[in-house]
C-alpha cells in the first residue's frame, strides 16, 4: 500500500508541474464557437501521464517500457498539433512514423488467434498492413472520443481495469497497470471539474499518446501475455463502433471525413442531458462496460468464435441505432 501512496503523490506533483508549464507556454485549449468551455484550459493531463510513466519505467523493469519510449514521438506530434493545428493528411503521415517504428520492434499481429471453427487465423503477408490499420483506427477513434470532459479518461480507465482483471485471472503481473489506473482516477477529477484554476484537458498530445499506448498495450497483452484477442477486442468496442459509425455516416452524407463536427454520439447525449458532462460520461461508460461484459461472458460460456460474431452483430445494431437517432434529431430540429 505504501508504494501506491508514494506513486500517487509523485503523480500529483508531476500533474501540477505539467499544469503550471502548460499555462506558462500557452499550451491551452482556447474557447471558440465549437468549444463548450469559456476559459483557457491547459493541456496538462496527457503530458503528466506521459512523464509519470517515464519516471515509473526508470525504477521498475516494466515490460511495456518500449511502448512508453516510442510514445514520446506521438506525444510530440500531438503537441505540434495542439500548437499549429496540423492538416489531416500531414497529421496522418506523422502519426504513421511512431506506429511503423514500434511494429518493426515486434509488435506485429501475425495471427488473430485460434478459433473453434476456423483454426488459427494467420494474417500472412497482410500482417503488417492489418496491424497498421488497426492501430491507426484505434488512435483516431480515441481522438474522436475526446470531446466531453472526463470521457477520454474514462475510456482509458475502463479498458485498464478490464486488462487488470484478465491478467489477474491468468495469474500475471499487473503492477504498472494498477499504478496507472489509480493515477488516472485522480486525473479524471481534474478533467471533469468546472474550476478553471485546476481544470486540465488531454489535448491532442494526450489523446494521440493515450490512443497509441492503448493500441500497443492490447497487442502486448496478446503477443506477450497470451490473452486471446476474443477477450481484448471488447475493451475498445465502444470506441471502434463509434468511430466506424461516424465515418460511414459522413460518407453517406457526403461530409468531409476529417472536418471537426458535433455528430458524435457523446455530443448528442451531451445536449440531451442539458450539457451535463458527468451524465454523458456516466452513460457512455455504462455502455462501454456492457459491451465488455457481453463479450467476456460470451467467450466464457460459448467460445472465441461466438465472440467475433457477437462483435459484428452488436456493431450492426449500434450503427442502425445511431442512424435512427440522427434521423430523429434532424426531424425535430
State the pLDDT at residue 200: 86
C-alpha–C-alpha distance, residues 50 and 154, integer Å:
17
Stretch among 88-97, 129-138, 150-159, 194-203 having the lowest mean pLDDT: 194-203
Residue position matching grid coordinates 471502434: 240
Q: Does residue 209 carry a pLDDT above 70?
A: yes
State the pLDDT at residue 61: 60
- Assign 34 a pLDDT band (cuts: 50, 70, 90): low
C-alpha–C-alpha distance, residues 199 and 41, integer Å:
6
CA distances from 214 to 2, 96, 116, 178 (A): 27, 16, 28, 15
State the pLDDT at residue 307: 95
**DSSP bridge pairs for 120:** 114
The count of other CB atoms within 10 Å of the CB of residue 310 is 20
C-alpha–C-alpha distance, residues 50 and 52, integer Å:
5
pLDDT in tens, 126-164: 999 999 999 999 999 998 888 788 899 999 999 999 999
Q: Does residue 38 carry a pLDDT above 60?
A: no
The residue among 143, 11, 14 whose CA lies nearest residue 82 is: 143
- Assign 117 a pLDDT band (cuts: 50, 70, 90): confident
- Model confidence pTM above 0.85: yes
Q: 60 or 20: which carries more pLDDT confidence?
A: 20
| Mean pLDDT, rounded, for 235-249 | 95
C-alpha–C-alpha distance, residues 126 and 134, integer Å:
12
All three cell numbers of 306, joined, read 461466438
State the pLDDT at residue 329: 62
Q: Does residue 104 carry a pLDDT above 90?
A: yes
Stretch among 191-205, 265-279, 294-308 having the lowest mean pLDDT: 191-205
The domain ranges of the chain are 2-332
**DSSP bridge pairs for 111:** 122
Q: Does residue 212 carry a pLDDT above 60?
A: yes
The gap between the terminal CA atoms of the chain, to the nearest Å, is 54
The count of other CB atoms within 10 Å of the CB of residue 124 is 8
State the pLDDT at residue 11: 92
State the pLDDT at residue 330: 55
Instruction: Provide the greatest CA pair distance for the chain.
Output: 58
The residue among 274, 251, 273 whose CA lies nearest residue 263 is: 251
- Assign 327 a pLDDT band (cuts: 50, 70, 90): confident
Strands 119-122 and 111-115: antiparallel
What string of H, E and C letters represents the secondary structure of the chain? CHHHHHHHHHHHHHHHHHHHHHHHCCCEECCCCCCCCCCCEECCHHHHHHHHHHHHHHHCCCCCHHHHHHHHHHHHHHHHHHHHCCCHHHHHHHHHHHHHHHHCCCCCCCEEEEECCCEEEECHHHHHHHHHHHHHHHHHHHHHHCCCCCHHHHHHHHHHHHHHHHHHHCCCCCHHHHHHHHHHHHHHHHHHCCCCCCCCCCHHHHHHHHHHHHHHHHHHHHHCCCCCHHHHHHHHHHHHHHHHHHHHHHHHCCCCCCCCCCCCHHHHHHHHCCCCHHHHHHHHHHHHHHHHHHHHHHHHHCCHHHHHHHHHHHHHHHHHHHHHHHHHHHHHC
* Residue 79 CB contacts under 8 Å (≥ 6 apart), including other chains: 27, 43, 47, 203, 204, 205
State the pLDDT at residue 262: 79
- Assign 319 a pLDDT band (cuts: 50, 70, 90): very high
Amino acid at each position: 500500500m505504501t508504494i501506491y501512496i508514494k506513486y500517487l503523490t509523485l503523480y500529483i506533483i508531476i500533474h501540477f508541474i505539467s499544469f503550471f508549464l502548460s499555462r506558462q507556454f500557452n499550451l491551452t485549449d482556447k474557447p471558440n464557437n465549437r468549444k463548450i468551455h469559456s476559459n483557457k484550459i491547459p493541456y496538462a493531463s496527457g503530458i503528466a501521464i506521459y512523464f509519470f510513466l517515464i519516471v515509473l519505467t526508470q525504477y521498475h523493469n516494466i515490460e511495456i517500457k518500449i511502448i512508453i519510449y516510442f510514445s514520446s514521438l506521438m506525444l510530440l506530434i500531438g503537441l505540434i498539433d495542439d500548437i499549429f493545428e496540423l492538416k489531416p493528411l500531414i497529421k496522418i503521415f506523422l502519426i504513421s512514423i511512431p506506429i511503423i517504428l514500434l511494429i518493426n520492434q515486434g509488435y506485429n499481429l501475425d495471427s488473430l488467434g485460434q478459433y473453434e471453427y476456423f483454426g488459427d487465423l494467420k494474417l500472412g503477408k497482410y500482417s503488417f498492413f492489418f496491424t497498421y490499420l488497426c492501430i491507426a483506427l484505434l488512435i483516431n477513434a480515441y481522438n474522436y472520443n475526446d470531446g466531453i470532459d472526463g470521457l477520454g479518461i474514462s475510456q482509458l480507465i475502463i479498458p485498464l481495469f478490464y486488462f487488470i482483471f484478465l491478467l489477474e485471472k491468468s495469474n500475471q503481473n499487473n503492477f504498472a497497470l494498477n499504478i496507472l489506473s489509480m493515477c488516472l482516477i485522480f486525473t479524471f477529477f481534474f478533467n471533469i471539474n468546472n474550476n478553471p484554476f485546476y481544470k486540465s484537458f488531454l489535448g491532442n498530445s494526450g489523446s494521440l499518446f493515450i490512443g497509441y499506448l492503448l493500441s500497443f498495450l492490447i497487442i502486448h497483452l496478446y503477443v506477450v501475455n497470451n490473452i486471446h484477442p476474443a477477450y481484448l477486442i471488447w475493451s475498445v468496442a465502444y470506441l471502434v463502433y463509434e468511430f466506424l459509425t461516424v465515418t460511414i455516416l459522413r460518407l453517406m452524407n457526403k461530409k468531409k471525413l476529417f472536418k471537426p463536427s458535433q455528430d458524435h454520439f457523446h455530443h448528442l447525449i451531451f445536449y440531451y442531458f442539458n450539457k451535463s458532462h458527468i451524465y454523458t460520461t456516466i452513460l457512455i461508460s455504462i455502455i462501454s462496460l456492457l459491451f465488455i461484459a457481453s463479450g467476456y461472458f460470451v467467450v466464457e460460456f460459448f467460445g472465441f468464435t461466438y465472440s467475433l460474431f457477437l462483435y459484428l452483430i452488436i456493431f450492426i445494431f449500434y450503427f442502425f441505432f445511431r442512424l435512427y437517432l440522427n434521423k430523429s434529431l434532424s426531424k425535430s430540429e
